[in-house]
C-alpha cells in the first residue's frame, strides 16, 4: 500500500466518523483508531517482515498527532464551554438536523429551546427518532454535521441555560 493511499484512508475514516478501522493485506496491516469526540487519529501501521527475518518483531510506526499536542486545545475548549449544557445523543445512528433535505433545521445557533422541543432526528436501523430537548436555553453551537454518524453519548449541541 502506498503512502498516498494510506493518507486517503485516514482522511476517509476521519470524515466518516467511524471509531476504528482495520485493513489487512498479505504484506501490511493498518489499524486506525479515532477516540470518540476527538478529531485526531491514532494510526498504527504494521509491516510484515520478510520470510528470512521472521524472528524479528514487526515494525510499528505511528502516524498522526502526538498525544501531547492534542491535550492542550482540548483543555482550553473545556474551559470555554464550562457554562454551557451539552445535549448528547441518546443512541447510535445518523444525525439529521431537519426532517427532510428540503425542510429547515429544527434548531440553529441562536434559537431558543424549551423542554420537549425537537432539536434533531437520529436514524437507527431505518427508524427515525425525534430527539427532544430536556432543558431550556439558547443554542450556542451545533457540534455535529448533518447526515453524519453519531455514537451513544456524543455531544450534539451546546446550550446556554441563562
Model confidence at 54, pLDDT cuts 50, 70, 90, reads: very low
In this prediction, residue 60 has a pLDDT band, given cuts at 50, 70 and 90, of very low
pLDDT for 131: 93
> What are phi and psi for residue 11, nearest 5 degrees?
-65, -40
pTM: 0.51
Cβ pair 31, 9 in contact under 8 A: no
Q: Write out pLDDT tens, residues 62-103.
A: 454 444 444 444 444 444 557 899 999 999 999 999 999 899
CATH 3.40.190.10 applies to domain 82-160: no
Task: Identify the H or E element spanning 28.
Answer: strand 28-33
Residue 120 three-state SS = strand
Spans of all domains in the chain: 3-69, 82-160
The residue ranking higher by pLDDT, 69 or 120, is 120
Q: Is residue 84 within 8 Å of 109, Cβ to Cβ?
A: no
Amino acid at each position: 500500500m502506498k503512502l498516498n493511499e494510506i493518507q486517503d484512508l485516514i482522511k476517509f475514516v476521519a470524515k466518516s466518523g467511524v471509531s476504528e478501522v482495520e485493513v489487512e493485506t498479505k504484506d501490511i496491516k493498518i489499524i486506525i483508531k479515532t477516540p470518540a469526540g476527538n478529531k485526531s487519529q491514532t494510526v498504527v501501521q504494521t509491516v510484515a517482515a520478510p520470510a528470512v527475518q521472521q524472528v524479528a518483531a514487526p515494525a510499528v510506526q505511528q502516524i498522526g498527532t502526538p498525544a501531547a499536542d492534542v491535550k492542550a486545545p482540548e483543555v482550553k475548549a473545556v474551559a470555554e464551554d464550562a457554562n454551557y449544557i451539552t445535549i448528547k445523543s441518546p443512541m447510535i445512528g445518523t444525525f439529521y438536523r431537519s426532517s427532510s433535505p428540503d425542510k429547515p433545521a429544527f434548531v440553529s445557533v441562536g434559537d431558543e429551546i424549551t423542554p420537549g422541543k425537537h432539536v434533531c432526528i437520529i436514524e437507527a436501523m431505518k427508524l427515525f427518532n425525534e430527539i427532544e430537548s430536556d432543558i431550556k436555553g439558547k443554542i450556542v453551537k451545533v457540534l455535529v454535521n448533518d447526515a453524519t454518524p453519531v455514537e451513544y453519548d456524543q455531544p450534539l449541541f451546546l446550550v446556554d441555560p441563562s
